[in-house]
Amino acid sequence: MINKKIGPTAVLSLVSWSALVPILPFFALSFYFEGEDAIAFSLRHMTLSSILSLAYLAFAATLIGYTLWGKLLSALPTHTVAPLTLLVPVVGLTTAWVILGEALTFLQVIGALVVMGGLLINVFGLKLWNAMMHIKTRS
Protein backbone atom coordinates (compact mmCIF):
# COMPACT_ATOMS: atom_id res chain seq x y z
CA MET A 1 0.00 0.00 0.00
CA ILE A 2 2.82 2.37 0.82
CA ASN A 3 4.44 1.75 -2.56
CA LYS A 4 1.20 2.71 -4.28
CA LYS A 5 0.58 5.76 -2.06
CA ILE A 6 4.02 7.36 -2.39
CA GLY A 7 4.08 7.05 -6.17
CA PRO A 8 7.27 6.82 -8.21
CA THR A 9 10.32 6.55 -5.99
CA ALA A 10 13.72 4.89 -5.80
CA VAL A 11 12.55 1.56 -4.37
CA LEU A 12 16.06 0.41 -3.36
CA SER A 13 16.52 3.57 -1.28
CA LEU A 14 13.11 3.12 0.31
CA VAL A 15 13.90 -0.49 1.23
CA SER A 16 17.39 0.35 2.48
CA TRP A 17 16.28 3.21 4.72
CA SER A 18 13.21 1.41 6.00
CA ALA A 19 15.39 -1.57 6.94
CA LEU A 20 16.97 0.62 9.63
CA VAL A 21 13.67 1.05 11.46
CA PRO A 22 13.24 -2.42 13.05
CA ILE A 23 16.82 -2.81 14.30
CA LEU A 24 16.35 -1.27 17.76
CA PRO A 25 12.92 -2.79 18.52
CA PHE A 26 14.11 -6.25 17.41
CA PHE A 27 17.26 -5.94 19.51
CA ALA A 28 15.18 -4.88 22.52
CA LEU A 29 12.81 -7.84 22.05
CA SER A 30 15.71 -10.24 21.64
CA PHE A 31 17.35 -8.86 24.78
CA TYR A 32 14.07 -9.18 26.70
CA PHE A 33 13.12 -12.68 25.57
CA GLU A 34 16.52 -14.32 25.08
CA GLY A 35 18.72 -12.38 27.45
CA GLU A 36 22.19 -10.92 27.30
CA ASP A 37 23.92 -14.29 27.69
CA ALA A 38 22.23 -15.84 24.65
CA ILE A 39 23.06 -12.81 22.52
CA ALA A 40 26.70 -12.79 23.65
CA PHE A 41 26.96 -16.56 23.08
CA SER A 42 25.58 -16.33 19.55
CA LEU A 43 27.94 -13.47 18.67
CA ARG A 44 30.97 -15.32 20.06
CA HIS A 45 30.12 -18.53 18.21
CA MET A 46 29.33 -17.15 14.76
CA THR A 47 30.42 -19.42 11.95
CA LEU A 48 31.07 -18.72 8.29
CA SER A 49 27.73 -20.37 7.56
CA SER A 50 25.88 -17.99 9.89
CA ILE A 51 27.69 -14.96 8.44
CA LEU A 52 26.85 -16.04 4.88
CA SER A 53 23.24 -16.66 5.94
CA LEU A 54 23.01 -13.15 7.38
CA ALA A 55 24.54 -11.67 4.24
CA TYR A 56 22.06 -13.58 2.07
CA LEU A 57 19.09 -12.50 4.19
CA ALA A 58 20.24 -8.88 4.34
CA PHE A 59 21.22 -8.40 0.73
CA ALA A 60 19.67 -10.99 -1.56
CA ALA A 61 16.42 -11.71 0.22
CA THR A 62 15.72 -8.27 1.64
CA LEU A 63 17.29 -5.62 -0.55
CA ILE A 64 17.00 -7.37 -3.90
CA GLY A 65 13.75 -9.18 -3.15
CA TYR A 66 11.87 -6.20 -1.74
CA THR A 67 13.27 -3.88 -4.39
CA LEU A 68 12.01 -6.15 -7.17
CA TRP A 69 8.72 -6.57 -5.31
CA GLY A 70 8.34 -2.79 -4.98
CA LYS A 71 9.05 -2.32 -8.68
CA LEU A 72 6.43 -4.94 -9.54
CA LEU A 73 3.88 -3.26 -7.28
CA SER A 74 4.55 0.15 -8.76
CA ALA A 75 4.38 -1.13 -12.35
CA LEU A 76 1.40 -3.50 -12.13
CA PRO A 77 -1.98 -3.53 -10.41
CA THR A 78 -1.83 -4.93 -6.89
CA HIS A 79 -4.40 -7.67 -7.62
CA THR A 80 -2.05 -8.99 -10.31
CA VAL A 81 1.06 -9.10 -8.13
CA ALA A 82 -0.35 -10.00 -4.69
CA PRO A 83 -1.16 -13.68 -5.44
CA LEU A 84 2.53 -14.23 -6.19
CA THR A 85 3.25 -13.96 -2.45
CA LEU A 86 1.88 -17.50 -2.25
CA LEU A 87 5.02 -18.63 -4.08
CA VAL A 88 7.27 -17.71 -1.14
CA PRO A 89 6.92 -21.03 0.73
CA VAL A 90 7.02 -23.01 -2.53
CA VAL A 91 10.27 -21.31 -3.57
CA GLY A 92 11.67 -21.85 -0.07
CA LEU A 93 10.84 -25.56 -0.11
CA THR A 94 12.18 -25.99 -3.62
CA THR A 95 15.39 -24.13 -2.83
CA ALA A 96 15.95 -26.21 0.32
CA TRP A 97 15.39 -29.36 -1.73
CA VAL A 98 17.65 -28.37 -4.66
CA ILE A 99 20.47 -26.54 -2.86
CA LEU A 100 20.50 -28.11 0.60
CA GLY A 101 19.36 -31.60 -0.36
CA GLU A 102 16.51 -31.55 2.15
CA ALA A 103 13.88 -34.23 1.78
CA LEU A 104 10.36 -32.98 1.22
CA THR A 105 7.44 -34.73 2.88
CA PHE A 106 4.46 -35.93 0.90
CA LEU A 107 2.30 -33.21 2.47
CA GLN A 108 4.80 -30.50 1.50
CA VAL A 109 4.79 -31.67 -2.12
CA ILE A 110 0.97 -31.83 -2.15
CA GLY A 111 0.78 -28.38 -0.54
CA ALA A 112 3.14 -26.91 -3.13
CA LEU A 113 1.11 -28.48 -5.95
CA VAL A 114 -2.13 -27.11 -4.49
CA VAL A 115 -0.61 -23.62 -4.25
CA MET A 116 0.73 -23.82 -7.81
CA GLY A 117 -2.63 -25.11 -9.07
CA GLY A 118 -4.46 -22.30 -7.30
CA LEU A 119 -2.13 -19.73 -8.79
CA LEU A 120 -2.55 -21.19 -12.27
CA ILE A 121 -6.32 -20.98 -11.89
CA ASN A 122 -6.08 -17.45 -10.49
CA VAL A 123 -3.74 -16.15 -13.16
CA PHE A 124 -4.84 -18.11 -16.23
CA GLY A 125 -8.26 -19.49 -15.24
CA LEU A 126 -10.41 -16.96 -17.04
CA LYS A 127 -8.30 -17.18 -20.20
CA LEU A 128 -8.45 -20.99 -20.13
CA TRP A 129 -12.20 -20.93 -19.47
CA ASN A 130 -12.81 -18.54 -22.35
CA ALA A 131 -10.61 -20.63 -24.65
CA MET A 132 -12.50 -23.80 -23.69
CA MET A 133 -15.85 -22.08 -24.25
CA HIS A 134 -14.66 -20.80 -27.62
CA ILE A 135 -13.64 -24.32 -28.67
CA LYS A 136 -16.91 -25.73 -27.39
CA THR A 137 -19.03 -23.22 -29.36
CA ARG A 138 -17.06 -23.91 -32.56
CA SER A 139 -17.74 -27.66 -32.44
**Domain boundaries along the sequence of the chain:** 1-75, 79-139
Tens-place pLDDT, residues 57-88: 888 888 888 888 888 887 888 888 888 888 88
The model's pLDDT over 124-138, given as tens digits with 9 standing for 90+, comes to 888 888 888 888 777
pLDDT digits (tens, 9 = 90+) for 84-127: 888 889 999 999 999 989 999 999 999 999 999 998 888 888 88
Predicted TM-score (pTM) of this structure = 0.56
Burial class (CB in 10 A: 0-12, 13-18, 19+), 11: buried
For residue 93, which of 75, 111, 67, 72 has the smallest C-alpha distance? Answer: 111
**What backbone phi and psi angles, to 5 degrees, belong to 113?**
-65, -40
